[in-house]
């Protein structure tokens, strides 16, 4: 991510002037000016200008990991509500095993939750897949909602924050870019503790040196904040990427 110029811009505000700049997401060109087309942080990387959202609804992007709920079953797939403008579609062909079309409810029923990957974003909706490792049906644990703009902080730099939580509580934590977090552990005490830690991060997102404060918070809860790398492999490698393209 470029660090040349980062500032909050409002719609209609000129970010930079000059024909050499390329308008990207959330940006439009008006004569020589490159103008913000939405509210967010202006990011000028070399000649590429874009606006990174800091608030508002979740807009899916290709490659995102999302957590959602089955709201409808059609003849060739499932519709998933993930908190976006439209529902996501999971075709039968994008699940990791053969499904008899008459018995789709056996595999995924109404109200069940899934972790899926965004495969394609079209104006009509979102196509998702669960064919890769780490994606699939959610069984047990709990899902909490933190909002899409807090996700990068909960994941931390290269997953550091997640590793910290996992190391301390022994719970598995999967973060969806749509602002939902799945916590799954051996017992509900550990899950509740993990939930408290994540809520603490979500509330204190603006603090500087958040990692240290989270470490202290974990210590006060009676956990050892051991920075041991977890042996069990991360199930959400793909979600560890904040808001890169």
Partner 1 sequence: MDKGLYTKREDGRKMAEVRPMNAKVGIVPSADGSASFETGNTKAIAVVRGPRTLHPQHMQNAQTGILRVSYGMMPFSVSDRIRPGPNRRSEEISKVSEWALSSVIDLREFPNTVVDVFIQIPQADAGTRVAGLNAAALALAHAGIPMKEMISAIGVGKIDKTLVVDLDKYEDSEYHDGEGSTDIPVVVTSRTKEIALLQLDGKISIPEFKETIEMAKKACGDILKVQMDALKNVTEEQDE
Residues that bind partner 1 (CB under 8 A): 6, 8, 10-13, 26, 28, 30, 35, 37-41, 53-57, 59, 85-87, 123-124, 149-150, 152-153, 205-206, 208, 242
Min separation Cβ 120 and partner 1, Å: 15
Residue number with CB closer to partner 1 (21 or 223):
21
The DSSP H or E segment spanning 216 is helix 210-220
Min separation Cβ 228 and partner 1, Å: 25
Residue number with CB closer to partner 1 (85 or 228):
85
Selection from 142, 135, 193, 144 nearest residue 164 by Cα: 193
β-bridge pairing 113-122 and 125-129: antiparallel
Min separation Cβ 10 and partner 1, Å: 5
Residues in the chain: 245
> Alpha-carbon distance 66 to 81, whole Å?
10
Min separation Cβ 98 and partner 1, Å: 31
Residue number with CB closer to partner 1 (41 or 138):
41
Q: What are the residues whose beta carbons fall under 8 Å from the beta carbon of 54, sequence distance 6 or more?
A: 8, 39, 40, 41, 149
Residue number with CB closer to partner 1 (8 or 228):
8
DSSP 8-state code for residue 125? E
């Amino acid at each position: 991510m470029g660090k040349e110029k980062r500032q909050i811009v409002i719609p209609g505000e000129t970010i930079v002037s000059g024909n050499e700049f390329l308008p990207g997401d959330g940006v439009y060109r008006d004569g020589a000016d490159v103008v913000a087309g939405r509210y967010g942080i202006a990011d000028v990387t070399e000649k590429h200008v874009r606006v990174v959202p800091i608030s508002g609804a979740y807009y899916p992007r290709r490659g995102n990991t999302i957590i959602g709920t089955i709201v409808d079953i059609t003849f060739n797939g499932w519709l998933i509500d993930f908190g976006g403008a439209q529902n996501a579609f999971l075709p039968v062909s994008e699940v990791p095993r053969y499904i008899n079309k008459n018995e789709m409810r056996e595999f995924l029923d109404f109200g069940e939750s899934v972790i899926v990957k965004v495969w394609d974003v079209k104006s009509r909706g979102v196509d998702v897949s669960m064919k890769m490792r780490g994606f699939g049906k959610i069984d047990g644990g709990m899902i909490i909602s933190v909002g899409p703009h807090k996700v990068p902080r909960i994941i931390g730099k290269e997953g550091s924050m997640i590793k910290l939580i996992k190391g301390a509580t022994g719970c598995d934590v999967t973060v969806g870019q749509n602002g939902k977090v799945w916590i799954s552990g051996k017992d509900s005490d550990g899950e509740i503790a993990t939930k408290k830690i994540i809520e603490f991060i979500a509330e204190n997102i603006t603090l500087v040196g958040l990692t240290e404060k989270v470490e202290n918070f974990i210590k006060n809860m009676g956990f050892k904040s051991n920075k041991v790398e977890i042996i069990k492999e991360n199930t959400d490698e793909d979600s560890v990427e904040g808001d890169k393209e």
